A and B are shown apart, each in its own frame.
Chain A
Amino acid sequence: MAMNQKTKLRKFHQARWDEEIIFEMSVKGERGILVPAAESDIVGAIGDGVSAIPAGLRRKTPAALPEVNQMRVNRHYMRLSQETLGTDVNIDISQGTCTMKYSPKVQEHLCARNPGITEVHPLQDPDTLQGILEIYYKFEQFLKEISGLDCFSFQPGGGAHGVFTNASIVRAYHELRGDTKRDEVITTMFSHPCDAAGPMTAGYKVITLMPDENGYASLEALKGALSERTAAIFITNPEDTGIYNPRIEEYVQAAHAVGALCSYDQANANGMLGIARAKEAGFDLCHFNCHKTFATPHACMGPAMGAIGVREELAQFLPVPRVKFDGSKYHLDYHAPNTIGRVRSFYGNAAIAVRGYAWIMQLGADGLREVAEISVLNNNYMEKKLRAIPGVSVWYAEGKRRLEQVRYSWEKLKDATGVGTADVMRRMADYGLQHYWTSHHPWVVPEPFTLEPCESYSKDDIDEYVAVLAQISKEAHENPEFVKNSPYNLPVHKVPAPSIDEPERIAVTWRQYLKKRGKR
Chain B
Amino acid sequence: MKKKPIAYPYIPNSVPAVKAQMLKEVSARDIMELYKEIPEKLKFKGRMNLPEPILDEYSIRRHVEELLDKNANTTDYNSFLGAGCADHYVPAVCDEINGRGEFLTAYVGDSYADHGKWQALFEYASLMAELLDMDILSCPLYDGMAAAATALRMASRAVGRKKVLVAGNINPDTLSVIRNYLKGIGEPQVAIELVKFDKKSGLLNLADLKAKMTPGIAAVLIENPNYFGLIETQAQQIGKIAKQAGAAYVVSTDPISLGVVAPPAHYGATIACGDLHSLGMHQACGNGQAGFVATFDDMRYVAEFKDLMFGLTETRVEGEYGFGEVLYDRTSYGSREKGKEFTGTSTGLWAITAGVYLSLMGPKGMEEIGQVIMQKLQYAGKLIAQIPGVKVVHAGPSFKEFVLNFDNTGKTVKKINKALLKYKIFGGKDISTEFPEYGQSALYCVTEKKTKGDIDKLVAALKAVTK
Contacts and interface: CB of A to CB of B under 8 A. Distances in A.
Contacts of B110: 425-426, 429, 435
A85 interface: yes
A53 B231 contact: yes
Interface in A110-144: 110-125, 127-132, 134-135, 142
Given A145-B49, A300-B349, A48 B107 contact: no
A373 B14 CA distance: 9
Contacts of A108: 99, 104
A330 B317 CA distance: 60
A492 to B, nearest CB: 5
Contacts of B100: 77-78, 81
B348 A299 contact: yes
A491 B310 CA distance: 17
Interface stretch (B52-60, B158-166, B241-249, B404-412): B52-60
Contacts, number: 729
Contacts of A62: 259, 363-364, 366-367
Given A57-B261, A66-B362, A345-B286, A115 B73 contact: yes
B42 A341 contact: no
Nearest to A487: B112
Interface string B130-170: 11010111111011111000000000000000000000000
Contacts of A304: 345-346
Contact of A112 (B44, B74, B95): B95
Contacts of B115: 83-84, 490-492
Q: Which of B310, B312, B372 has the most CB of A within 10 A?
A: B312
Interface in B45-72: 47-55, 57, 60-61, 63-65, 67-72
Contact of A300 (B121, B143, B379, B418): B121
A83 B375 CA distance: 42
B107 A361 contact: no
B332 A88 contact: no
B104 A67 contact: no
A118 B284 contact: yes
A86 B103 contact: yes
B407 to A, nearest CB: 21
Nearest to A97: B108
Contact of A131 (B71, B135, B260, B367): B71
B102 interface: yes
A358 B26 contact: no
Contacts of A512: 129, 135-136, 297
A130 B326 CA distance: 45
A157 interface: yes
Contact of A508 (B120, B310, B397): B310
Nearest to B277: A345
A483 B324 CA distance: 19
A77 B120 contact: yes
A370 B11 contact: yes
Contacts of A121: 74, 79, 81, 85, 87, 283, 285, 426
Contact of B349 (A104, A116, A302, A510): A302
Interface string A347-390: 11111101001101111111111110110111011001000000
A54 B397 contact: yes
B94 to A, nearest CB: 9
Contacts of B11: 367, 370-371, 374, 455-456
A106 B35 contact: no
B70 A74 contact: no
A183 interface: yes
B104 A88 contact: yes
A110 B112 contact: no
A68 interface: yes
Contacts of A63: 130-131, 133, 258-259, 263, 363, 366
Interface stretch (A3-11, A242-250, A254-262, A412-420): A242-250
A387 to B, nearest CB: 11
10 contacts: A32-B359, A63-B363, A65-B358, A118-B282, A122-B286, A274-B47, A365-B48, A455-B11, A457-B12, A505-B311
Nearest 3 pairs of A and B residues by beta carbon: A160-B344, A364-B53, A116-B68
